[in-house]
């Protein structure tokens, strides 16, 4: 007699029943897990989000690495050692290995994986020029944006050498150019009626020499102990131009040397000692401008780039003093050609150039430095202030007037050492005005020369007093140099988890709108 189907199921072995029961339980669990309500899932997700605590950005970590991954932010070894000369790449890697191991973070973040990518960086890689523009702001690109974090702690004072910027050579530029100005005021036939004693030139020259020695010694110590900071300043789009400043200052001191010190004509070896390092650095920078790449001129051009051009005209003046006129003419031609290119690039403000800030600032006084120095160099090389020299002088005079009428835009900025570098353009045009007054002996030309000289000397005196007060009274002259502590790459922020409740609400609204729109269209068609 054939068995019925339900009797066959009853006569199955117990092992089969156990397996079927286990399978049915799994299926029931899966179906149950799929049938969890949307509100329950949202409540669970919100509860998990509330349990996650975010730590504030203190700047102690490597751009939030320690705060977001549980690394101790008080590790003293990682604060400033990364900028020390003895902290090589191997030592940096050995220091970061235990941090990776303890924090449980993988060494590499690839294929779109989220997380902080600081540990992927190597210290032998330069900071891209575009990274400075993306992370920094301000007329000198010295302020970190709010969306950025830095490698060094913000809440404590850094070592003095790390806070000492190369922009301090601006003080040397201002004082040494003043020595040249008062040398011309003493010697020029156009200003003989003032009867200025030569001791003013001597005092300014000695003061400029002392400041140059102090700044150079301090910066050499920075090169010895914090070479990574020097590298970062070298790749900074603005501060790279101040590497020309030491050699320009030395040429200024040679040109404006008092008669009681430089009784004999200058030796050509002096010109070679100052101009050869400048020329080698010039080849490097101009090559980057010409060959293109990430540091082409339209990408890194800013008003301080005139420092890399002015030295050619100053070198031409010194070449004329040592008797090498042909070398001076060569430098004048090179400087004038690159000045025209730089002037046009800065004037038209290419869309790809983000170096120029929106607000006006004394940094724009750098525009008048090159044409003023060009006019003085032409007079020194050819022995007369002819049409070419006057053309350069009139261009500089017009730019000077266009800046003076906007004096109200130059207020409201915090004092910094970089302001010193904007005094020597005012001094240079004052010297050019004195030279012009020698060949055009009129009351107007002499009045312009004296007015410009008075404004230049007054500005230097005000900055000297401000520097003294900030350095010795208020002790705020050298704040933390945040610009050198930016990261090499933009860190990838972790994606926020999806808010299911908000997504469901938006989806419902969009579906309702679509249905109402379709209904309205259907009614119109009928």
* CATH number, domain containing residue 189: 1.50.10.150
pLDDT tens-place string over residues 74-126: 334 346 788 888 644 444 444 444 444 443 434 433 333 333 333 334 444 67
Which of 15-19, 131-135, 355-359, 462-466 is modeled with the greatest confidence?
Answer: 462-466
Which is higher by pLDDT, 162 or 19?
162
User: Can you tell me which residue has the tokens 């950005």?
Assistant: 57
Where is 259: in which H helix or E strand? none
pLDDT tens-place string over residues 481-509: 999 999 888 765 544 555 655 656 655 55
Mean pLDDT of 34-50: 45
In terms of Cα–Cα distance, which of 64, 46, 187 is closest to 119?
A: 64
How many domains are contained in the chain?
Answer: 1
CA dihedral 281, 285, 291, 295 (to 10 degrees): 140
Residue 239 lies in a domain: yes
The CA distance from 314 to 332, in Å, is 9
pLDDT grade, residue 348 (50/70/90)? confident
Residue 45 lies in a domain: no
pLDDT tens-place string over residues 255-301: 999 988 887 889 999 999 999 999 999 999 999 898 877 788 888 88
Instruction: Give the tokens for residue 504.
Output: 């469901």
Neighbours of 38 (CB within 10 A): 10
Residue 272 lies in a domain: yes
Residue 354 lies in a domain: yes
Which pLDDT score is estimated for 38?
42
CB 75 within 8 A of CB 58: no
pLDDT grade, residue 524 (50/70/90)? low
CB 385 within 8 A of CB 439: yes
Q: What's phi and psi for 153, nearest 5 deg?
A: -70, 135
Q: Is 102 helix (H, G, I), strand (E, B) or coil?
A: helix
Which pLDDT score is estimated for 366?
87
The CA distance from 365 to 139, in Å, is 12
Which pLDDT score is estimated for 340?
94
In the predicted structure, residue 44 carries a pLDDT above the cut 90: no
Residue 390 lies in a domain: yes
In the predicted structure, residue 519 carries a pLDDT above the cut 70: no
Neighbours of 57 (CB within 10 A): 16
In terms of Cα–Cα distance, which of 188, 321, 204 is closest to 258?
A: 204
Neighbours of 257 (CB within 10 A): 20
Q: What percent of the chain has pLDDT over 70?
A: 66
Task: For residue 370, give its domain range.
Answer: 129-484
In the predicted structure, residue 439 carries a pLDDT above the cut 50: yes
Residues facing 144 on adjacent strands: 136
pLDDT tens-place string over residues 302-314: 888 999 999 999 9
In the predicted structure, residue 227 carries a pLDDT above the cut 70: yes
In degrees, rounded to 5, the angle at the alpha carbon of residue 139 between the alpha carbons of residues 133 and 143 is: 60
Q: What percent of the chain has pLDDT over 90?
A: 48
When computed from its CA atoms, the radius of gyration of the chain, rounded to whole angstroms, is: 34
Residue 511 lies in a domain: no
In 81-198, which ranges are continuous DSSP H helix? 89-103, 129-135, 160-163, 169-187
In the predicted structure, residue 230 carries a pLDDT above the cut 70: yes
Residue 111 lies in a domain: no
Residue 66 lies in a domain: no
In the predicted structure, residue 407 carries a pLDDT above the cut 90: no
In the predicted structure, residue 526 carries a pLDDT above the cut 80: no
Residues facing 11 on adjacent strands: none
């Amino acid at each position: 007699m054939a068995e019925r189907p339900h009797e066959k199921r009853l006569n199955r072995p117990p092992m089969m029943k156990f397996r079927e029961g286990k399978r049915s339980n799994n299926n029931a669990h899966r179906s149950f897990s799929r049938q969890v309500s949307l509100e329950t899932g949202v409540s669970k997700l919100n509860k998990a989000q509330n349990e996650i605590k975010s730590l504030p950005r203190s700047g102690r970590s490597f751009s939030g690495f320690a705060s977001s991954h549980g690394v101790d932010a008080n590790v003293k070894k990682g604060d400033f050692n990364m900028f020390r000369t003895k902290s090589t790449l191997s030592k940096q890697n050995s220091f970061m290995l235990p941090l990776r191991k303890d924090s449980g973070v993988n060494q590499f973040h690839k294929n779109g994986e989220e997380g902080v990518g600081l540990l992927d960086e190597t210290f032998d890689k330069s900071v891209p020029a575009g990274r400075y523009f993306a992370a920094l702001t301000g007329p000198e690109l010295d302020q970190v944006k709010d969306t950025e974090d830095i490698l060094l702690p913000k809440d404590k004072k850094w070592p003095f050498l790390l806070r000492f910027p190369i922009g301090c050579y601006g003080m040397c530029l201002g004082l040494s150019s003043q020595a040249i100005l008062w040398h011309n005021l003493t010697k020029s036939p156009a200003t003989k009626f003032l009867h200025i004693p030569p001791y003013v030139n001597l005092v300014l020259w000695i003061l400029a020499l002392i400041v140059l020695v102090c700044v150079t010694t301090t910066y050499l110590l920075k090169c010895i102990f914090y070479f990574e900071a020097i590298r970062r300043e070298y790749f900074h789009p603005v501060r790279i131009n101040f590497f020309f400043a030491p050699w320009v200052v030395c040429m200024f001191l040679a040109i404006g040397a008092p008669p009681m010190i430089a009784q004999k004509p200058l030796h050509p070896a002096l010109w070679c000692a100052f101009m050869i390092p400048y020329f080698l650095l010039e080849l490097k920078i101009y090559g980057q401008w010409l060959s293109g790449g990430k540091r082409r001129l339209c990408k890194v051009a800013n008003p301080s780039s005139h420092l890399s051009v002015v030295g050619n005209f100053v070198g031409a003046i010194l070449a004329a003093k040592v008797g090498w006129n042909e070398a001076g003419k060569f430098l004048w031609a090179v400087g004038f050609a690159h000045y025209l290119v730089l002037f046009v690039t800065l004037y038209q403000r290419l869309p790809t150039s983000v170096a120029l800030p929106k607000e006006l600032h004394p940094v724009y006084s750098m525009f008048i430095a090159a044409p003023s120095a060009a006019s003085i160099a032409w007079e020194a090389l050819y022995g007369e202030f002819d049409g070419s020299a006057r053309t350069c002088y009139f261009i500089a005079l017009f730019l000077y007037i266009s800046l003076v009428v906007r004096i109200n835009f130059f207020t409201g900025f915090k004092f910094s050492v970089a302001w010193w570098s904007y005094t020597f353009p005012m001094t240079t045009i004052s010297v050019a005005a004195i030279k012009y007054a020698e060949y055009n002996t009129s009351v107007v030309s002499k009045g312009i020369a004296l007015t410009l000289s008075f404004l230049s000397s007054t500005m230097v005196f005000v900055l000297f007093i401000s520097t003294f007060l900030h350095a010795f009274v208020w002790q705020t002259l050298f704040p933390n140099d945040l610009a050198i502590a930016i990261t090499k790459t933009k860190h990838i922020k972790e994606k926020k988890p999806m808010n299911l409740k908000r997504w469901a609400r938006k989806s419902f609204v969009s579906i309702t709108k679509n249905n109402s729109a379709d209904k309205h269209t259907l009614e119109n068609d009928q």
